[in-house]
Structure 1
Amino acid sequence: MRLQPRTWLAAALLAAAGAASAGVTVNYEKPDEFIDMPRSLHERDQVLREMTRHFDKLAKDLPPGQELKITVTDIDLAGREEPRRWAMDDIRIMRGGADWPTLKLSYTLEENGRVIRMDTEGLKNMMYQQRINRYSSGDALRYEKQMIDDWFQKSVMGAQVSQR
């Protein structure tokens, strides 16, 4: 079957855009030793998958040719997990005190193979319950995502301005 010229052109443009798109690589260093993760292996994996998806979503804002490499070395989720005697799973209680989310990571931002920014940072969202949050109350990682968004805008996207 022969492709129509418009179909061929659209396919070529999509392939070129995909090849030139920005990306992210996320690694979790010793996740079993993170300060605060769910006890259930399934729930821990779910947290890491969701965080990786969030980093992927943010990386779509990077200019073509840029690659972000992130190594997460510690996670402390918002609130505290407390066991329930009558249930199989634990419940996360958020009191708004010293139970804010934190994340430790190191990252490298490259453009066409050249390092344009590299740093290690400790993220925290101390006012996590007092801020307006664009993520729904049903999103279990809404406070962590808000914290990661702030970091991404300041440290990664802010580096775009200083490098150009």
Structure 2
Amino acid sequence: EAPKLNREVWSKRAKVVYEFPATRFTAGKSLKLTWYDGQGHFPKADTHGLPVGINLPGSGSVLIGEKGTLLIPHVAAPKLYPEEAFAGKKIEMLPGTDHYVGWADACRGIGTTGSHFGYSGNLTETVLLGAIAVRTPGTRLEWNAETTNLSGSTTAGALVKKSYRKGWEPTWIS
């Protein structure tokens, strides 16, 4: 869902609903994820299982589970709700590392980065598919990662791969 787009200006807000197939990590159930982008159209915090009156951060994530809700602000510690249900639980933070040093170490073959390509490639693919979906509001799109085919809209499907002029095709893209 998004306001009508034009060629010069991107929408101030958008809502993209993803549905991921079931895996062993989702207890055999498909996973629905709603991505809100922009300001002024988020559901109220209490609809997420958060306390009435809590302010959602300007950026971050809200993960809603079967037994509670995890609020993850962009630059603050995550918090579990309802607080009384998780009173004895502590969210363990990873030891602090400098991401510049982590990247340089990974280049030298020392460990991997926190967002190595095995993780970040899939995340980037998901976000870019959402950007395509915003251009075709109200349309259900189906993505096949193996064939890089997007079905459900020829307009959306045409945005997956760029067409190059004859003689200017990159040799590394098939």
Greater fraction of residues in strand:
1
TMscore range, shorter length: under 0.3
TM-score, normalised with respect to structure 1: 0.23
Higher relative contact order (CA 8 A, sep 6+): 1
Greater fraction of residues in helix:
1
